[in-house]
Structure 1
């Protein structure tokens, strides 16, 4: 059987003890997620993460670390491989989402997020737990083989 998971990226953005979440409407319900999205063709994982952060928050940020990789299957049977990054910034700055699917962004404590009933998927809380465990890996783990990505990282 041929396995074709959705490849996605997500980022824990941390400032002043709070994490940035995006609020988006999924099937008519408001949900919370980390800035996240799908990898596009001819795009490096890091470039995808930078693009998603900008589209969903309006912020120009580069991830600092790879926190981990989750393999997960959604309730509808859709398989995902999610690369989780982290980014540390000094202040909880204002956001201006560029993506019309994002209603607004919130700076919340990890506990506020993990106790919420609005999480888009269980990966939101699991990502915070992995980040809180101190998991950090250098971005030098990533190498683009053959043709270069359109957007360098």
Structure 2
């Protein structure tokens, strides 16, 4: 049996009012809250995947500014290991109200509202990424060395 980790890209986006861009989606038969995030496609860079996922899931064009971190999570429900490359981005422009079919809606929530919905978060990484961001964790984007062939 071959072990296949799932590699995803996510963005933490905060607006000028201290609210974070999140999506409400269905996963495993339940409604959950998550950052804009999704699988990196073959041949796609991490930054491009993060931007694509944000646009597809929220309608926002985002501009990554920093790398937040690489997070690992093994989902107890299915045993899948996820590697999440999380970027910090700014919301540049709302381009569309058309969202991926898996997305119910988008939310701009402050940290307290997110904490109040802890049981609804898709994984503990949602809150951990936001708290790491709020604690000043950030690295330059050039720590991601993505060679295109």
TM-score by length of 2: 0.89
Which residue does the alignment assign to 1:77?
Answer: 79
- CA distance in structure 2 between the partners assigned to 1:9 and 1:83 by the alignment: 5
**CA 1:80–1:19 in structure 2 vs 1: closer, same or farther (change >3 Å)?**
same
Residue 118 (structure 1) aligned with residue 120 (structure 2): yes
1:100-139 aligned at under 5 Å gives the runs: 100-116=101-117, 117-139=119-141
Gaps spanning 5+ residues in structure 1: where? Answer: 148-153
- CA distance in structure 2 between the partners assigned to 1:125 and 1:29 by the alignment: 18
Which residue does the alignment assign to 1:4?
Answer: 4
Gaps spanning 5+ residues in structure 2: where? Answer: none
Asked whether the 8 Å contact 2:68–2:88 carries over to 1, the reply is yes
TM-score by length of 1: 0.86
Aligned length: 146
1:11-90 aligned at under 5 Å gives the runs: 11-15=11-15, 16-75=17-76, 76-89=78-91
CA RMSD of aligned residues (A): 2.1
- CA distance in structure 1 between the partners assigned to 2:28 and 2:82 by the alignment: 19
Which is richer in strand? 2
SS at match of 1:111: helix
